[in-house]
Structure 1
Amino acid sequence: MPGKPNPVARLFWTAAIGCPFGLWYGPPAFAATGLALTLVLMRHLGRPRRFRARVRRIARAHAETLALRRRQESFSDAYGNRIEDGWLRERAYFLDRTVLPQIGPRFADLAESERNRMLAIVEAEAAAVALPEEDEAPGDGIDYERYCAERLARAGWRAHRTPPSGDQGADIVAVRDGLRLIVQCKRLAKPVGNAAVQEAAAALRYWAGDRAAVVSNAGFTPAARRLAAATGVLLLHHDALDDIDLAGAHRS
C-alpha cells in the first residue's frame, strides 16, 4: 500500500548493514546495531500514538464548531430517549472530509483500525467545549414559528410570519440585503422527513424567494438530507438562524 511503512524491511536492512560492522568492529558496533534496531521498532510501535495525537490536534482546531453541531444534532424524543443519530453522522462526516484528508497517506494504513479511537477523540473534543446556554425553544408549533422569526429579526432580517392558512409550505418570509428567504419551521420530537423539504421547495417558487430553508430542533432524516442536496433547500437548526450563510453549503 503506498505510503505504508514496512517495519520488517527496515529491521532487516538495519541488521544486514549493522551485523557485518559488528563482526568487524566488535562489541561497540553490535551495541550500536542493537540500538538502531530498538529505535526502528520503537518508532513503528509509536505510530498509532502519533496518529491519534495528530487527529486530536485537528479535532481541537474545530472543537467549537463540533460542539455546536453536537448540540444541534442531538435531541430527546417524546419518550425521553436521547437521539444522537444526526451527531453520529456528523462525526463520521468530519472524519472523512476533514481529518483524513489532512492526515495524508503516511498514516493511511491506520485509518480503518483506528476509526473508533478517532471517533472517540472527536467526541471528547466536542464535549470539552463549554457552549453558551441556548435559548429554550417553545414546544408549541405556532410559538416555535414566532421564536424563529424573532431570532431572524435579531440577526438583521425583516422576518414576517405567513397567515396560518394558505401559506403553501412557508411559515416565515425573511428579507435581508436584497435576499428573500422562505422558511418552514418544524418543532418535532423526531428528525424531519423529506416531505418538509418538498414543501419548502414548493414554497420557494410560490413566494418568489431566493433560498428556502427548513428549520427544526430535531435534525433531519437521511432522505431529507439527500433531497435537500438535490433541491438546494437549507436544513438548519434554530441555533443557526443567528448567522445564516446563504452562499454556503446546505448540508446539515
Structure 2
Amino acid sequence: MPRPASLADRLFWPILAGGAASLWFGPKALAVAGLVVLALVVHRLGRGGRFRRRVRAIARRHRETLALRRRQESYVDPYGNEILDGWLRERSYFAERTVLPRLEAEGYGDLIEVRWDEILAIVEAASLSVAAPDEAEDLPEDGIAYERYCAALLERAGWEARTTKAAGDQGADVVAERDGVRLVVQCKRYAKPVGNGAVQEVVAARSYWNADCAAVVSNAGFTPAARKLAAATDVWLLHHDALPDLRARPAGRSR
C-alpha cells in the first residue's frame, strides 16, 4: 500500500509554485499561494476529527446489536465481578471486520494502528449508548425451568418444541421441529461461560435424535475451546435472546 502523503509532501509544490509565480506576478500570486497552503493545513489538521466522526458513525449504525452482544458476552461471576472477556473479543472482532475495512477504503488506513485504542473506546461507548433490556427478573434460576424457558422462546419462532425427560435425553434438553427440520438443544443456565463438554454432548444428541442441527444455548457465553469445537462440528452457540427469531441458520454464528 502506498504511503499516504504527509503534510510536508502536500505543501511542497504549492509553496514552490507560489514562490515561482510571485517572481513573475508579484505579491498577489504569493497571497494566492498562501491561501492554498493555509487551506491544506486546516484540512490536514482537521483529519483527526473527521476520523473520529467516521468511526462514531459506523459504530452508531450498529449500536443496538453492539448493546445486545455486550450483554450476551458478559456475565457476573459468583463473587459479583463483571466478566467481560467474551465482550472484549466481540468488540475487537467488530472493529477489525466492520470498522477497519471502511476506514481503509476512505483513506484513513495510516491512522488505524496509532488510534486503535480510540477506535475501541468509541465502539465501547456505542455499545453503552443503548439500554439493553434487563433479563434478570424474567430469567429462571433453575436449570429445568430454563429448559422450559428456551422451549417457549423457540415456539415464538414457530418451532414445535418440547423438553426431554432428564433421564435418557442423550444430551438433548429440548427437541424442536419446524418445516421438516429437527433441532436438538442443550440449555445451560450458568454463572460462567459454557465449556466444550456441552458441545460434545449435543453432537452426540444430534446423532441419537437423528436431528438436522444442534445448538447449545446459554445466558453466559462460551469458552474459546467451546467455540473452536462448535465451529469444527457445526454446532450453533447461541444466547437465548436469539431463539425468538431463530429460523434456519442463526445470523450471528459463533466464531
Mapped to 2, the partners of 1:186 and 1:234 lie a distance apart of: 13
Deviates more, 1:217-226 or 1:239-248: 239-248
Q: Which residue of 2 aligns with 1:235?
A: 237
Match of residue 223 from structure 1: 225
Matched, 1:72 2:75: no
Give, in whole Å, the separation in 2 of the partners of 1:241 and 1:3: 47
Counterpart of 1:116, as a letter, is D
Task: Tell me, yes or no, if the aligned pair for 2:64 and 2:130 is still in contact at 8 Å.
Answer: yes
Q: 1:104 aligns to what SS in structure 2? A: helix
Deviation at 1:41, TM superposition (A): 2.0
The answer on 1:251 being equivalent to 2:225 is no
In structure 1, which of residues 150, 162, 181 is the aligned counterpart of residue 152 of structure 2?
A: 150
Post-superposition Cα deviations, 1:215-240, rounded to whole Å, max 9, x if no partner, equal 00100111111111111110111111
Unaligned runs of 5+ in 2: none
Q: Which of 177, 180, 185 is 1:178 aligned to?
A: 180
Cα pair distance change 1:78/1:133, threshold 3 Å? closer
Q: Secondary structure at the match of 1:126?
A: helix
1:96 counterpart = 2:96: yes
Once the two structures are superposed, the pairs formed by residues 114-153 of structure 1 within 5 Å of their partners are 114-134=115-135, 136-153=138-155
Q: How many Å apart are 1:184 and its aligned residue?
A: 0.1
Q: Distance in 1 between matches of 2:171 and 2:196?
A: 13
Distance, in Å, in 1 between the alignment partners of 2:55 and 2:230 is 30
Amino acid at match of 2:201: E
Determine whether 1:13 maps to 2:13. Answer: yes
Q: Secondary structure at the match of 2:54?
A: helix
Give, as a single letter, the amino acid of the residue that structure 1 aligns with 2:253. Answer: H
Equivalent residue letter for 2:113: E
Instruction: Output the TM-score relative to the length of structure 2.
Output: 0.92
CA distance in 2, matches of 1:62, 1:104: 19
Alpha-carbon distance in 2 for matches of 1:170, 1:28: 83
Displacement of 1:3:
6.1
2:195 is aligned with what amino acid?
A: G
Residue aligned with 1:184, SS: strand
Deviates more, 1:25-34 or 1:95-104: 25-34
| 2:108 counterpart SS class | helix
* Residue matched to 1:51: 51
CA offsets per residue over residues 139-175 of structure 1, 9 Å max, x none? 2211211211121122221111111012121110011
Deviations for 1:69-111, whole angstroms, at most 9, x for unmatched residues? 1111111111110011111111111111111122234111111
Q: Which amino acid aligns with 1:109?
A: D
Deviates more, 1:19-28 or 1:186-195: 19-28
SS in 2 for 1:182: strand
Give me the whole-angstrom Cα distance separating, in 2, the residues matched to 1:86 and 1:245. Answer: 25
Structure 1 gap ranges (5+): none
**Letter of the structure 1 residue corresponding to residue 236 of structure 2:** L
Q: Which moved more, 1:19-28 or 1:167-176?
A: 19-28
Rounded to whole Å, the distance in 1 between the matches of 2:118 and 2:88 is 14
More displaced, 124-133 or 136-145?
A: 124-133
RMSD: 1.7
Task: Count matched residues.
Answer: 252
Q: How far off is 1:133 after superposition?
A: 4.2
Aligned residues of 2:157 and 2:247 also touching (Cα < 8 A): no
Task: Assess, with a 3 A threshold, how the Cα gap between structure 1 residues 17 and 47 changes in structure 2: closer, same or farther.
Answer: same
**What is the percent sequence identity of the aligned residues?**
59
- The code of the aligned residue for 1:32 comes to V
Q: Aligned-pair distance for 1:18?
A: 1.2
